[in-house]
Amino acid sequence: MSTLIKKITFLFCCISLLHISINAQNEVDALRFSETDWQGTARFMGAGRAFGAVGAEFSAINVNPATIGLYKKSEVTFTPLTVSAYSANVNYNGTETAERRPRYNLGSAGMVLAISGAENSQWKKFQIGFGYNRIKNYNNIFSIEGRSNGSSVGYEYANAAEGLNISDLNNYDIWSDEMWMAYEFYLIDPKPGSSTSYLPSLAGANLFQASTVTQKGGNDEMIFSFGTNYDDKLFLGATIGVPFINFTESRTYLERNDKDPTHHFLNWNINDNLNVRATGINLKLGVNYQPVDFLRVGVAFHTPTFYGNVRDIFDRNVSAQKWDYVAAWDWGIADTILTKKIYNEEANYRNSFNYSLTTPLRVMVNAAFFIKQRAFISAEYEFTDYSMANMYATSYNFREENKAIQTKYGACHIARIGAEFNINQVFAVRAGYNYISSPYKDKINDGSKHYVSAGFGFRTKYFYSDFAYSITTSKEKYWMYNPLYVNEASNKYNAHRIMLTVGVKF
């Protein structure tokens, strides 16, 4: 029984280390897959994504489904071009590191059919829409380099090995190679006089540390929408959303002893790859009301999204290098001598896990002011509380993870404003701004974002084309491993995007 208890303890220590390394199956995933970053047509993006009360714009159906009720004609829209350029500047212990990376993805595609109501009926139109929009883009890259200032990933392994006899370190089935390597390659040492307690072998040393994190993928939502228009004053809509998560994260970590040639430890490398796939479902309801010609107001409600089968596949490769003395016979002096030999070793393992995730609900209000059918100014407010996210599985209760969600995350407030001005009957220009507040409680991290956009387009009776540019800026703290043992890295991100949309009306 004691051996079983040790194995369970060891397993959870390794899971803790895994969580810190790759942030898989914990509160970080709950936030990542609950957040939205509405994307879509160039018109929608150029005018600050503030179309919840403007309507007749395909991507706005994701935000306020009542906007489909504004369609008077049927329409097909396609955004074949969304090019993003991501940049990150990271400061770690005084060392600055920059990364740049371009990405391409489809923005949106869809169709709306506008069907006339019965003759002499106040129900003017009925609309049916379907297609997809990207509701979250996960593409990102950043790198960290710098001196450790006394920290070492060895603290993590020393903590995970606590209570285990040296002879038992390599006797467990789960990730035993990695734990044994930490001991064999001098990353951790037993405390003097103990065989069950450990210390990092280079505690306090000034090591070189580096890490690169590359994230790819997105959350693309298929939508099926229904709407109606009553007397050109009341607009109702409902959208069934089916989001598809496709997320990959690759992380490298290097710790190198380049200052103390007398120490046997040389370097430690971790290569992690996380692949997440999930399909969910939600319902969005919206209403818009136009009391006077120049004003339209609206409200929308998004139910929580239920992801019934989130599948994580995690792969890890750990390699290490050390040097040791080996004895060799020297015939020239007829004696044995000690020479240095470099040793290499690596370990690989895979872990897969399925769980369920429920994201928080969302509520938003919208308003739009129209100026003589030549321009509009719109504003929106969106609210969600990320502490309401919940993770669960039949084989694991996620008690600690859900507690961390409630402790770390809280209410998030989003404000969007946008404007469009029609220069003439064909050409229009647009601009917008968004502020997304931090989802974190007690300022444990930042995570707030600023979004600025501009665009233009031209529209004829049957054809239109739009172009937009946007930039999103944000910053956050990042820890390469347990914050108890390493200083934070200060990350600043910029995401530049250009979008092109074409469409036809009929």
Name the CA radius of gyration of the chain, rounded: 28
> What domains are defined for the chain?
2-505 (2.40.160.60)
CA pair distance 463, 291, nearest whole angstrom: 30
- Name the DSSP letter for residue 304: P
The residue type of 347 is A
- 252 touches 269 (CB < 8 A): yes
With b for 16 or more beta-carbon neighbours within 10 A and e for fewer, the 63-83 pattern comes to: bbbbbbbbbeebbbbbbebbe
- String of DSSP letters for 66-92: GGGGG--S-EEEEEEEEEEEEEEEEEE
pLDDT, position 176:
60
CA pair distance 123, 74, nearest whole angstrom: 17
Degrees to nearest 5, angle at CA 395 with 390 and 399: 40
Q: Which helix (H) or strand (E) holds 31?
A: helix 27-32
- 39 touches 108 (CB < 8 A): yes
pLDDT, position 171:
65
CA pair distance 100, 182, nearest whole angstrom: 34
Q: 3-state class of 209 per DSSP?
A: strand
Tokens matching residue 48: 């600050």
Torsion of CA 327, 330, 333, 337, to 10 degrees: -20
Tokens matching residue 143: 């790198």
Q: Of 371, 374, 369, 490, whose CA–CA distance to 423 is shortest?
A: 374
Provide the CA 482 distance to its chain's centre, in angstroms: 20
In 120-264, which ranges are continuous DSSP H helix?
Answer: 154-161, 176-184
Q: Which helix (H) or strand (E) holds 352?
A: strand 335-358
Q: What is the pLDDT along the chain (506 residues), one digit of tens a residue?
A: 444 444 433 344 444 444 444 445 789 999 999 999 999 999 999 999 999 999 999 999 999 999 999 999 999 999 998 999 999 999 999 999 999 999 998 889 999 999 999 888 999 999 999 999 999 999 999 999 999 999 999 999 998 888 888 877 776 544 566 788 999 999 999 999 888 899 999 989 999 999 999 999 999 999 999 999 999 999 999 999 999 999 999 999 999 999 999 999 999 999 999 999 999 999 999 999 999 999 999 999 999 999 999 999 999 999 999 999 888 776 777 777 788 899 999 988 888 999 999 999 999 999 999 998 899 999 999 999 999 999 999 989 999 999 999 999 999 999 999 999 999 999 999 999 999 999 999 888 999 999 999 999 999 999 999 999 999 999 999 999 999 999 999 999 999 999 999 999 99
- 132 touches 110 (CB < 8 A): yes
Place of tokens 């999930």: 278
**Residue 313: count of CB within 10 angstroms of its CB:** 15
- String of DSSP letters for 468-499: EEEEEEEEEEE-SS-TTTS--EEEEEEEEEEE
Degrees to nearest 5, angle at CA 73 with 67 and 77: 75
| Cα-based distances in Å from 111 to 79, 237, 239, 454, 505 | 12, 15, 14, 25, 10
* Whole-prediction pTM: 0.90
**Residue 247: count of CB within 10 angstroms of its CB:** 21
In 256-382, which ranges are continuous DSSP H helix?
Answer: none
- 486 touches 17 (CB < 8 A): no
- 389 touches 360 (CB < 8 A): yes
Q: Give percent helix, percent strand, percent coil of the chain, each to the nearest 5.
A: 15, 55, 30
The HSE-up count of residue 137 (CA atoms within 13 Å, CB side) is: 24
CA 409, 244, 213, 16 dihedral sign is positive
Contacts of 404 (CB under 8 A, 6+ apart): 26, 27
Q: 3-state class of 59 per DSSP?
A: helix
- Name the DSSP letter for residue 409: B
Torsion of CA 288, 291, 295, 300, to 10 degrees: -20
Tokens matching residue 45: 């993006």
- 298 touches 64 (CB < 8 A): yes
